Amino acid sequence: MPNKLLTQLQGYQVRLDAVTQDDLEMIRQWRNDPSVAQFMLSQESISTEQQQAWFKKISRDFSQQHFVIFYKNEAIGVANIKAYYQGETLDNARVIEPGLYIADNRYRNNILAFAPTLVLNDYCFEVLGVQALLAVVKADNLAALNYNTKLGYQIEKQAELVEIRLNQADYQHHTHGLKALLNRPARS
């Protein structure tokens, strides 16, 4: 594994752990849930065999990392990052494409949904040293577009798929208050 890559990220009340073999069936069930699948670029149902093949592929691919998101030690979703340009590893990527979904409906539409993204973005900008994050969102996924705008993303291309870009300066400017809010000690 390249030097800078971490297998666990933590902050803003959440923890992201690298996906393991033991996580695969849970992730497959989440991904096949219609409430999650509707926002995916590919909406086909994923078989156990396809999930195993995917894990085998990503386990030896240093251009991407996949994490299970935990809140209060309970798995609630999945996050990933991929080097945007072919042939780059995450260790030397200039642009990274992040992805994330919250599978647990209790946390989808509240402030906690921002926490794993903040952890992932901090990792990309501060540890991996990327220049920008680039995401692709379905045009009808207004919740994701609104969410990303709050993080500082700017629209690059708009069609059936919307390409959005985030640089570190915009990210820091837009998330200062959000980070402070999520870093507050939890009430007992």
Residue-wise pLDDT tens digits, 116-141: 999 999 999 999 999 999 998 888 88
Is the CB of residue 10 less than 8 Å from the CB of residue 115? Answer: no
pLDDT at 81: 97
Structural domains of the chain ordered from first start: 8-183 (3.40.630.30)
Helix axes 24-32, 48-59, angle to 10 degrees: 120
Q: Is residue 186's pLDDT more than 90?
A: no
Is the CB of residue 121 less than 8 Å from the CB of residue 130? Answer: no
Q: Is residue 93's pLDDT more than 90?
A: yes
pLDDT at 97: 96
| Total-model pTM | 0.89
Mean predicted confidence (pLDDT) in 91-110: 91
pLDDT at 138: 85
Percentages of the chain per state (helix, strand, coil), in multiples of 5? 40, 30, 30
Residue with tokens 């009808």: 140
Q: Is residue 156's pLDDT more than 70?
A: yes
Mean predicted confidence (pLDDT) in 132-159: 91
